[in-house]
Structure 1
Amino acid sequence: MPAAFELSKVTVTRPGKTLLDKVSWTVNEGERWVILGPNGAGKTTLMQVVGTTLHPTSGKVRVLGQKLGRVDVFELRTRIGHTSTTVADQIPPVESVRNVVLSAAHAVTGRWNEKYDEIDIRRAIQIMGELGISALATRTFGTLSEGEKKRVLIARALMTDPELLLLDEPAAGLDLGAREDLIASLEVLSVAEDAPVLVMVSHHVEEIPVGFTHVLMLRDGLVVAQGPIASTLTAEALGSTFGLRLELQNDAGRYTARRAAYGHRADRGGDTS
């Protein structure tokens, strides 16, 4: 199976700090990855390298068959979908959801004088249906909840049929209901035959959608563990990543984590009388 991207001993340094330290990582077509780690672990830096917006200080990077440093990154980026708060901030609040999604076909963030083919319109309608946001089509972007905005941004990122989709903390700031709606949309996307390779950053195992296949855990720019999620996402590896003793539960593919009980607290079963 061909690799979507390959990183070999990638290091990113800034004055006085190493953001990534000799990270080697290969993601193949058909895989769905989640990157876990605390604040400052290097997750966003890693996504910037994969998204070709940041060149490493040292190491080798190949994305979609192209070697970074020997390719026109502006052309390569057209094959990569990316959701972030930066894109959301650029979208006019009065733009309709339908046009927010549709305008991605011309790489603009608002509908102006562009002309769209019928195939573009059909694709926008199809993607909105698959992500469960068809009912929002005539709403303006500025009236949406945070959860609705996140799903619209994912639909927009899919509009250009990317080969690689990078989701940087898509559930950040969402309440429980909005988070679950988003995760349900990602679960549908993760099992779709024509879906791109998915890579999602998160702080929380509770946000991992069912259907994601692999996990990479980072701490202080170093890889703690990586591999198939079923065998790699363990309480021990997660505890090493976050610097805590943790208990990890898996219920039909959805994970929860909590701090492990200590000493007399565990013995007393929570009794504080």
Structure 2
Amino acid sequence: MRQHTQPHTRQPAGRVVVALAGAGVRRHTTDQLILDGIDWTVRSGEHWALLGANGAGKTTVLRLAGALMHPTTGTVEVLGHRLGRVDMRELRAHIGLVSSAQKVPLDATGHTVVLTGATGTVQPLWKKYDAAVRERAYELLAELEVKELADRPYGVCSGGQRARLLIARALMADPSLLLLDEPFNALDLPSREDLIDTMHRLATGRPELATVTVTHHLEELSPAIGHALLLRDGRVRAAGPVAEVLTDARMTSCFGRPIEVVRHEGRWLARSGRRSG
């Protein structure tokens, strides 16, 4: 029987936190190839954007990085531990995951939502939360600038408020890695800009934290994003510093149509150019 090791809780600055080597994923029911030969490395303190059209494999890459599934081929190491040789549940305790699809009780207050991040549960486990844990939840509400939501039911919060509550919840475990799966989904312009500001402050205030953000729109990237991974049909089209990856040519190759990219004061804008002929 294979022994599972216990994950480390902290990663030194610059250390590899995610490493995919030849990682592939095939859907067993249909034999469909979802990912093919993905090589990708994320280090502590780096902030990555994960981009590609629908069906490119973005969410699957995020699930591998979040220790939510195993690769069919190749290897995946997260926080220094290879998937398949570590207790996945223990490993996930050191990874923050934010997704608009997360199930949260609508009657739970903002403070309760954040508290559940300490136990990784949907419903609160009240006996597990001592005074220090409860106080930490209040501190995170303040850090994310939503302390006024402490007693407000989650169900009446706006999309932007919910996103920041979920980020605060993910930070309760003091993760080394924060994964965000389309956190800007369905947000209006002011809420989007508030969340971008939040992500920028978070990156500045937590220099060891690594983040990976899945998005469809370059306009949603904060100036803190320094790296990008482009996926198309389950394969890497480009990966590296944003200045080298988010170019007209590489975005055009990734999305299969002419794309023009502009950067202004650390923010990005992409639009579809005219087709020739």
**What TM-score comes out, normalization by structure 1 length?**
0.91
Task: Give me the whole-angstrom Cα distance separating, in 2, the residues matched to 1:116 and 1:262.
Answer: 58
Consecutive aligned runs of 4 or more in structure 1 exceeding 6 Å deviation? none
Residue 82 of structure 1: how far off its partner (Å): 0.6
Match of 1:211 in 2: 224
Match of 2:33 in 1: 18
Q: For 1:239-254, what aligned pairs fall within 5 Å after superposition?
A: 239-254=252-267
Task: Give me the whole-angstrom Cα distance separating, in 2, the residues matched to 1:219 and 1:261.
Answer: 21
Match of 2:184 in 1: 171
Unpaired runs of at least 5, structure 2:
1-13
Task: Give me the whole-angstrom Cα distance separating, in 2, the residues matched to 1:114 and 1:105.
Answer: 12
Residues 34-75 of structure 1: per-residue CA shift (max 9 Å, x gap): 100000000001111111111111001111000111111111
Residues 208, 255 of structure 1: 8 Å contact kept = yes
Residue 109 of structure 1: how far off its partner (Å): 2.5
Look up the equivalent residue of 2:17 and give its one-letter code. Answer: A
Residues 71-116 of structure 1: per-residue CA shift (max 9 Å, x gap): 11111111111112342x2x22111101110222122333353252
Q: For 1:118-137, what aligned pairs fall within 5 Å after superposition?
A: 118-137=131-150
- Specify which of 135, 145, 155 is matched with residue 142 of structure 1: 155
Task: Give me the whole-angstrom Cα distance separating, in 2, the residues matched to 1:22 and 1:219.
Answer: 12
Residues 100, 185 of structure 2: 8 Å contact kept = no
1:155 counterpart = 2:155: no
Report the identity percentage.
42
State the SS of the aligned residue for 1:49: helix
Residues 130, 188 of structure 1: 8 Å contact kept = no
Task: Give me the whole-angstrom Cα distance separating, in 1, the residues matched to 2:93 and 2:203.
Answer: 21
Task: Give me the whole-angstrom Cα distance separating, in 2, the residues matched to 1:24 and 1:179.
Answer: 31
Match of 1:268 in 2: none
- Specify which of 184, 192, 202 is matched with residue 205 of structure 2: 192
Residues 189, 195 of structure 1: 8 Å contact kept = no
State the SS of the aligned residue for 1:39: coil
Residues 119, 125 of structure 2: 8 Å contact kept = no
Q: In angstroms, what is the RMSD of aligned CA positions?
A: 1.6
State the SS of the aligned residue for 1:138: coil
Aligned residues: 262
Residues 172-229 of structure 1: per-residue CA shift (max 9 Å, x gap): 1111111111111111111123552101101111111111110000000010100011
C-alpha distance 256-233 of structure 1, shift in aligned 2 (>3 A): same
Match of 1:267 in 2: none
Task: Give me the whole-angstrom Cα distance separating, in 2, the residues matched to 1:195 and 1:98.
Answer: 25
**What TM-score comes out, normalization by structure 2 length?**
0.90
Match of 2:58 in 1: 43
Residue 121 of structure 1: how far off its partner (Å): 2.4
Look up the equivalent residue of 2:241 and give its one-letter code. Answer: P
Unpaired runs of at least 5, structure 1:
265-273
Larger gyration radius, structure 1 or structure 2: 1
